[in-house]
Amino acid sequence: AAAAAATTTATTAPIHLCNSVSMGCQLSKQQQQQRHRQYHPKHHLSENLVVQHHHHSVHDDYDIIKQIGKGSIGMIYLAQSKQPQYTTISSERSGEESSPQHFKNNDTSQKSAGAYNKNNNVMSQYAMKEIDSETLERGAFDSLKKEIALLTTLDHPFIIKFFDSYTITGVEDGKEKLSVVMELCTGGSLDEYVPYSEDTALILVANIVQAILYLHHHNIVHHDLKNENVMFVDKTRDPNNIRLLDFGLAKRFDGVHRILDRNGTIYTLSPEAIRGEYSEKADMWSIGVMCFHLLSGDRPFWGETSHDVGVKVLNMDYSMEGPKWDSISKEAKSFIRGLLQFDPALRYTPFEALHSPWLKQQTEFNVENMSKSERVILEKAKEAHAPMKELQKLSLYAIAHKARSEDVASLRKLYLAIEGEDGEISLPDMQRALKGQLTPEQIKEWFKRSDFEYSGKINFTQFVAGSYDAQKKLSSQEIIDAFRFFDRDDSGFITADNLREALKIEKGEYIDELIHEADFDGDGQISFRDFRNFLLKKELTPKPVEAE
């Protein structure tokens, strides 16, 4: 698994804390810079967005509604998040209404999706895969856990999101059960609706290539690309709202050594993958097969047996002739040929594919074609000057991670227009794409608000969180989800240890400052009531941190 090493913050001398509001401290510019370095170490929140639970069952946090699928190694269920008991207890102790309606929520669009309890509070729904170690050999089960740990570090608009994983060991039999909670897709897979118009197929393929560009930049080969493994998020079947899933055969690569493996789906395997020795270029061959299928409804290589299919692949036995292909553009056919190259070195890379004559129509950013909602985002970016406290920023990040797809559609399109060659956004990427739309200062401010890890790069979730209006009205479920993200031991409180685990920071006064921002009763931890009031900007002031 690709877990980054924890980052520690070194200090050369004690720093005396003081709250500038409550104690009237005036810091010089040099002191402010020193404070910023001390309180804003590079953390690794994006690599820890999936909460891994080892102390309780998935059934403690989610209600299982019904079975919606069955895989070779487990069942898939429709799950709905529960409201934790401490949210009600917290309200009752404070003398407030226990109903979730006391949360501010002016977002009427939330009534368009999801399930509701009797108080009309939106309850988020997810897909939950449950895998029992009985169904797998010990080595395969451990390998699956490692793959999940690796893939939970990924963050891209077209890659399925993971939210929680639960590993429980039976007391009597010692057998493990692994449950993974992920994004729910209800629109069906791409293969269910073939063939598509060329315009729709172009969008679908461009978006799949965007996802593979991101994966390859992070040294991951999917190795099971097929239209069955790409799903529409909802029943509108919007080609700009798809998710790549099923990473069971995904592998790390180093760019030097070949991957030795004969697994995969025969009709999408590249010639070298059939021979059992391949590189990341095998994914690009598979995209060629997918594109052929999307445009014609047929697979380029087919036969009675796997052997027959393999022979056709190795002999490059396919054709784009006949009535089905008469209306397909020469650019689309040329694109497929650029991918179905026997020699991997001659195949398009993801970057080359995106700049091919066919896909370039979809991937070129043209500010003149921006929708009204995208222009609204840019207008809000011009106005977003109000500073946010650090815990508020991190909470918005956690909330953005679970944001519903339809709520971030315009942000997703804008992100893809700005992203660089690595599938993420740097300041130069943003400056290039938004030149003339925002001033250089406004672009820098937007980037600064979005660079949650102070790394100089922005992933999709960071972009969404950094684009939120600072005055965004939060729903009860969003606040609960954010609190759960930080409350790693499910105690009903956010402690310094919880924050260290979530941010992968061993020590440092940065953690103390985060607690201080929302610890209104001064007990050194953040209750749910404290957290809710902090995010809703209730008129409460934390007790000042005493100077050393």
Catalytic annotation, residues: 224
* Residues 143, 160 contacting (CB under 8 angstroms): no
Cis peptide before 542 (omega within 30 of 0): no
**Which residue type occupies 509?**
E
* Residues 312, 318 contacting (CB under 8 angstroms): yes
Closest CA to 318 of 291, 286, 340, 349: 340
Whole-angstrom Cα distance, residue 417 to residue 397?
A: 21
* Residues 295, 252 contacting (CB under 8 angstroms): no
* Residues 51, 484 contacting (CB under 8 angstroms): yes
- Residue 432: which residues within 8 A CB-CB, separation 6 or more? none
Q: Angle CA(200)–CA(205)–CA(209) in degrees, nearest 5?
A: 150
Strand partners, 115: 123
The order of strands in the sheet holding 74-81 is 51-53, 162-169, 176-182, 125-132, 74-81, 62-71
227 alpha-carbon distance from chain centroid: 21
Whole-angstrom Cα distance, residue 396 to residue 390?
A: 10
Strand partners, 66: 78
* Residues 235, 186 contacting (CB under 8 angstroms): yes
Place of tokens 């509108």: 236
Q: Angle CA(129)–CA(133)–CA(137) in degrees, nearest 5?
A: 120
Taking CA atoms, 297 is separated from 193, 320, 327, 542, in Å, by 9, 12, 14, 62
A 10 A CB-CB count for 441 gives 9
Six token digits for residue 256: 């030097």
**Torsion sign over Cα 448, 452, 457, 462:** negative
- Residue 44: which residues within 8 A CB-CB, separation 6 or more? 4, 6, 7, 453, 503, 504
**Which residue type occupies 506?**
E
Six token digits for residue 213: 């560009």
* Residues 81, 481 contacting (CB under 8 angstroms): yes
SS3 457: coil
